[in-house]
Amino acid sequence: MRDVPEINTPAFQADLHANLRRLRETEPVHAHAYHGEPRYSLLRYDDCVDAFRDERLGAVRIRADWLEKLAGSGHRDLTSLGRVLGHILIIQDAPDHTRLRGLVSRAFTPRTVERLTARVESLVGERMAPWRDAARVDLIADFAVPLPVVVIAELLGVPAEDRDRLKRWSASFSPMLDRDLNRLETGLLDAAAACTAFADFFGPLFEERRREPRDDLISRLVAVADDGDGALSEDELLATCVLLLVAGHETTTNLIGNGVWTLLRHPEQLSWLHRHPEGIESAVEELLRYEGPLQRAVRHTKAPVELRGVRIPADNLVDLVLASADRDPERFPEPDRLDLARPDNRHLAFGLGAHFCLGAALARLEGRVALRALVERFPAMKLAAERVEWRPGSVFRALRALPVAL
């Protein structure tokens, strides 16, 4: 379409939902070029659901020759990067994914997450305490970023004095999850150095927890790793901790930031939530649907696939555009209307099926506690900027800053 910029470009992102709507209406299976190679974007809800369940569509694995190049480079940073990327859960398919996810799930249970409620409430209060005399805050830098980092670090069992370092390393590695993993140039050395730092940090910590287990996630993961045949390898253990740190705080940061921004742009809905605090669960689900933390999930075709008359050959990249699927009028009545009490809100913000986000329960918990506290304590809060700026990238939907007048 001539009136729609090329998908995944800054121009497209500048008016994301309007451009997705135009594309969804005219070309729901959108064929386009990416770095000179063919790529396909699925924009309809039903097509994304089917794609999540279709065994012909696999996770985007890194090419073996690329990993071998990293491992054999002799560059220690690149070797550590290969250790992480070669074993990270979200780019594995069955049977490796099934085994790895099953093992990690044993340590990362809903009960483990639910036990964190009181602690998350306490942390939210601590973050807000300095705001008593503040007229204005940046809800991203002052709240949405530091809160999830502390929560996931405490869940893992990372010492408090190390959290700032982990946050910096996570920020360096995070862009790797927002690009095609077989075309990694920009930021590669920064991400590689972060992986070396992660390896140097977690290696001794794993040994310490083996000697003296504690009531934390690292101790439980180490126990799983040492549980005989088919257990976690040391590289899988490292990659899992890196993924939990990076994805665990990135998703929640965006949930909180995007959620507050959306509420401030819909004062009637913000007022409804203030009057109906018991509606916080449905509110979080609607905010996830309306402006979710992830824009797309990436798959590749293991075999040819035909969708809506479009034949997608084998070994092609396919984007499941969650930001479009969750505003598909064929699934959600009046999808561009924010309705915090929306019934039957089965969005795809956390994916679906075998690759459903392992940290969804934790993100939801933090979102509920944080948003409820903000609405209760600062019912008159308003945007303190005419425009906001979104971070570049087409995977994460993330604000750079969110100035708010309290």
162-176 confidence digits (pLDDT tens): 988 998 998 888 877
Asked if residues 277 and 372 have their Cβ atoms less than 8 Å apart, the reply is: yes
Q: What gap in Å lies between CA 191 and CA 142, rounded to an integer? A: 24
Q: What gap in Å lies between CA 150 and CA 166, rounded to an integer? A: 10
Rounded (5°) CA angle 127-133-139: 40
Alpha carbon separation from 374 to 86, 140, 145, 187 (Å, rounded): 40, 13, 15, 35
pLDDT reported for residue 63:
54
Alpha carbon separation from 86 to 80, 104, 233, 300 (Å, rounded): 10, 17, 12, 17
Q: How crowded is residue 96: how many other Cβ atoms within 10 Å of its Cβ?
A: 15
CB contact burial 312-332 (16+ within 10 A = b; e otherwise): beeebbbbbbbbbbbbbeebb
Nearest to 260 by CA among 229, 221, 287: 287
Is 235 exposed, middle or buried (CB count within 10 Å of its CB: 0-12, 13-18, 19+)? middle
The parts of the chain modelled with pLDDT lower than 70 are 1-2, 60-77, 107, 178-187, 228-230
Nearest to 50 by CA among 252, 306, 283: 306
DSSP string, 39-54: EEEE-SHHHHHHHHH-
Token code pair at residue 92? 């594995």
pLDDT reported for residue 376:
95
Q: How crowded is residue 376: how many other Cβ atoms within 10 Å of its Cβ?
A: 11
Helix (H) or strand (E) holding 23: helix 16-26
Tokens 């092609």 belong to residue? 316
For the chain, percent of residues with pLDDT exceeding 70: 91
Angle between helices 64-71 and 76-85 (to 10 degrees): 150
**Where do runs of H (alpha helix) occur along 188-342?**
188-211, 217-225, 234-264, 267-275, 280-290, 322-325
Q: How crowded is residue 227: how many other Cβ atoms within 10 Å of its Cβ?
A: 12
Token code pair at residue 96? 């490796």
Token code pair at residue 78? 């690149």
Helix (H) or strand (E) holding 198: helix 188-211
Which neighbouring-strand residues pair with 39?
32, 317
pLDDT reported for residue 119:
93
Three-class SS of residue 317? strand
pLDDT reported for residue 318:
93
Asked if residues 397 and 292 have their Cβ atoms less than 8 Å apart, the reply is: yes
The architecture of the domain spanning 10-405 is Orthogonal Bundle (1.10)
Asked if residues 363 and 252 have their Cβ atoms less than 8 Å apart, the reply is: yes
Each domain of the chain, given as residue ranges in start order, spans 10-405
- Beta-carbon contacts of residue 134 (< 8 Å; ≥ 6 apart): 406
- How many residues comprise the chain? 406
Three-class SS of residue 402? coil
pLDDT reported for residue 183:
53
